[in-house]
Amino acid sequence: MLRNPTGLKLWPLLWLLVSTSSAQASAPMGSIVGSGGEGVTAASGQVTSAAPLNSTDPTEDGADDRCPPDLTQQPAQRGAPPGLSLQLPPTVTAGTSVKVSVTARHPAGDLDCGYNGTLHISSSDAGALLPADIRLTDGSATFALIFTSAGSHSVTATDTQESATTTRSAEVTVTAAAATRFSLGAPTHVAAGVPFVVTVIALDGFDNIARHYGGTLHLVSSDGAATLPMDTTLTDGCGSFTLSLATLGDQFLTATDNIATTGSSMPIRVAMPTASSGMVLESTAALLDSCNNHADNPANALHFDHHGDATAAYR
């Protein structure tokens, strides 16, 4: 029993003490209760308020690309075609999947949340693997494509209903993939014992010159009496070598390396030398141009004159 020597009424004070103790008992262990009813649990660090942790402040970068809920269901405004924008990496490797983002934007640059048009995708790379027509949702979409041709290429997106609504991406540099085979250029007819030149090109799986190829090249021949060059490397994916064959009949050359890349020539007919055979047969002109990005596909045949019946072929 509490004694009250002063004679003051204590029941208001006791009521306050009991109320305070009840509020603290209702809060989780290790929590701090704020004036707004929000709590941060010390053990988990989770905010117990209704606001999401990943909510974006309107002043932050990228906030304009978030469509408010009341705008996402608006129909496309065909009277004023939006501007389209394509984003993709500046450098890619042939044969690899590339992620592309496309957005529809108002003249001011903000996202056109009411645009839900369908786009046709094309590319300056004739061998590119492209998606079917894509439909934008709330003014944006992503898709994947694959470039196969080395060089500079672009992507174009065009509205299937409004051809005026179109855009072309910035140029993308496509580099060759790793070398998978060699292409050998050699004359189809040679004289026994007379040197001739063979050109070797390292190619990837899409017939692009693998300019970063760094393997060591080794030439072998079906002619056991052939005079062959020492093992060597290629420069910028290409190399020219002088050799001679000695055994009459059809012979072959094969290029191998220490990375399991290989390639063989077309048959080379070896004949007896004549009085005018004392010359080096040059079979490199077109292939060397190809190495320097000046010629056609290195798989095309190169023709040159030698007694009116000789050709150099690539394989």
Same fold for the pair 71-175 and 181-314 = yes
> What integer is the mean pLDDT of 101-122?
94
Least confident of 11-20, 51-60, 197-206, 220-229: 51-60
Looking at residue 219, its pLDDT comes to 95
pLDDT for the residue numbered 250: 97
Question: What is the model's pLDDT at position 259?
Answer: 81
Nearest alpha carbon to residue 168 among 109, 125, 206 = 125
Rounded average pLDDT over 33-58: 31
Going from the C-alpha of 259 to that of each of 178, 234, 291, 294, the distances in angstroms are 10, 13, 21, 28
pLDDT digits (tens, 9 = 90+) for 25-35: 444 433 323 33
Residue 60 has pLDDT above 80, yes or no: no
Instruction: Scan for tokens 């649990």, then name that residue.
Output: 41
Residue 282, burial from CB neighbour count under 10 angstroms (0-12, 13-18, 19+): middle
Task: Give me the mean pLDDT over the 3-12 stretch.
Answer: 50
State yes or no: pLDDT of 135 exceeds 90: yes
Domain residue spans in the chain?
71-175, 181-314
Whether 56 has a pLDDT exceeding 50, the answer reads no
Q: Which of 139, 135, 134, 142 is nearest to 104 (CA)?
A: 139
Residue 210 predicted with pLDDT over 60: yes
Most confident among 9-23, 61-75, 277-291, 296-310 (mean pLDDT)? 61-75
- 104-112 mean pLDDT: 91
| Closest C-alpha among 139, 121, 137, 119 to residue 129 | 121
Predicted TM-score of the model (pTM):
0.66
Q: What is the mean pLDDT of residues 189-212?
A: 96
Q: How far apart are CA 9 and CA 123, in angstroms?
A: 89
Of 28-32, 145-149, 201-205, the poorest mean pLDDT is in 28-32
Q: Which CATH class for the 181-314 domain?
A: mainly beta
Decide which of 206 and 259 is more confident: 206
* CATH number among 2.60.40.10, 3.90.190.20, 3.40.190.10, 2.60.40.420, domain 71-175: 2.60.40.10
In contact, 311 and 268? CB cutoff 8 Å: no
User: Which pLDDT does position 65 carry in this prediction?
Assistant: 65
The more confident residue out of 38 and 95 is: 95
pLDDT of residue 261: 86
Task: Provide mean pLDDT across the span 167-180.
Answer: 96
Give 280's DSSP letter. P
CA–CA dist 181, 205 (Å, integer): 8
Query: Chain-wide mean pLDDT for the chain?
Result: 74
Q: Which residue has the tokens 């300019």?
A: 211
> In what order do the strands lie in the sheet containing 166-168?
134-135, 118-123, 155-159, 166-168
Q: Break the chain down into helix, strand, coil percent, rounded to 5.
A: 10, 35, 55
* Cβ burial, residue 238 (10 Å; 0-12/13-18/19+): buried
Q: For residue 275, is pLDDT > 90? A: no
